[in-house]
Amino acid sequence: MTSSAKESQHRIRSFIRRQGRATAGQQNALDNLWDKYCLNPDIIVDYTEAFNRKAPLFVEIGFGNGSSLAEMAEANPEYNYLGIEVHRPGVGHLMLLLEQKSIDNVRIYHHDAIEILEQKIPDNMLAGIHLFFPDPWQKRRHHKRRIVRPSFIDLLHKKLISGGYFHVATDWEHYANHMLTILSASSALRNSSKDQRFCQRPEYRPLTKFEIRGLNLGHGVWDLIFKKI
């Protein structure tokens, strides 16, 4: 049995389901907007039908409260966006934003992102994959839970179109260097940075309130953008 097969059978999850308590507004969205924005993870979806059109498709893994995803989608109406998040109140918050702003180019999976990528998204389909501020699992004994690992990079390569990109951002320098090492080891992806290290934040990635607060305190943020060759 290959290492990737073993990992698939005994997968170490890179997230914990911290469901928390939804606000009244978020719960109202969960109760009334689910069928409008959320996709069923148990069926194979025709994305042209789900979005009522064919357009370049981008995925955001772990969108948190969805503010950045909603802002990107609103600024780029010519693109389709899939958001994947296990935190139920965050799903409710994103649906509230989409409804308030009349944004119709976002669909949501409330599910494990790896399973969605493996089982519900065809190969050579995605124009871009975003992973903004993933859990760094900073304790050494938890490093095995980090989502960016060789098997994950192999999966991204299968799902991206030629020229499609993977963009990850983190405010943990050690994790940034760890991801740089893993991504640079792939012969199927090319670093978009001129010095083969980190990129400047592109305009399409919105600054979060948390990020702005950190930058004002002198904290760093590292962006990595690798394209499929």
Hey, which residues are catalytic here? 135
Phi-psi region of 199 (alpha: psi -120 to 50; beta: other; left: phi over 0): beta
d(CA 154, CA 185): 11
| Percent helix, strand and coil across the chain, each to the nearest 5 | 40, 20, 40
What six digits make up the tokens of 36? 């409008």
Longest dimension (CA), the chain: 50
Strand order of the β-sheet with 80-84 is 106-109, 80-84, 57-61, 126-132, 160-170, 222-228, 189-191
* DSSP 8-class letter at 77: T
